[in-house]
Amino acid sequence: MSKIKVLFVCMGNICRSPTAEGVFNKLLDDLGTADRFLVDSAGTHAYHVGESPDNRAQQTARNRGVKLSEIRARKVSPADFDEFDYILAMDSDNYQLLIEACPSEHQHKIKLFLEFAPDRKENNVPDPYFGGQNGFEHVFDLVEDASQGFYQTVMP
């Protein structure tokens, strides 16, 4: 059986998308279904390629039992549009950049991540980079909700 391939995308791949990658992987581990998925994250911009996630994102995740330290930032590549089954954008700006870069035959794979958190009023996972710790906590909460909703959608 082939794996379900999921790519989480934000701008720089050091805050939101690595948090989503870590949270979703932990959810899969907890549910015993990690072997059914391939999970990755990337950024629409190459600002931080090769870097670890932001220390504040790592600390927030660590406090909640999620490890991000192994993740390294990378930029979305043209091959990703073919490779991944789901490409989940953290916000509408990155969604639009992905749509513009993606061949039309793969655009159906691109979704806003918070579409999978219908109880949340937000459409975008806000970028916490220039804010304080509360922003990272809020991002984690949003990502946790959307991860559960996404999982229930693909594994009913």
Task: List active site positions.
Answer: 10, 16, 127
Residue type, 130: F
| φ, ψ at 9 (rounded to 5°) | -135, 130
The rounded distance, in Å, linking the Cα atoms of 107 and 111 is: 9
The rounded distance, in Å, linking the Cα atoms of 145 and 117 is: 6
**Burial bucket for residue 93 (CB in 10 Å: 0-12, 13-18, 19+):** middle
SS3 39: strand
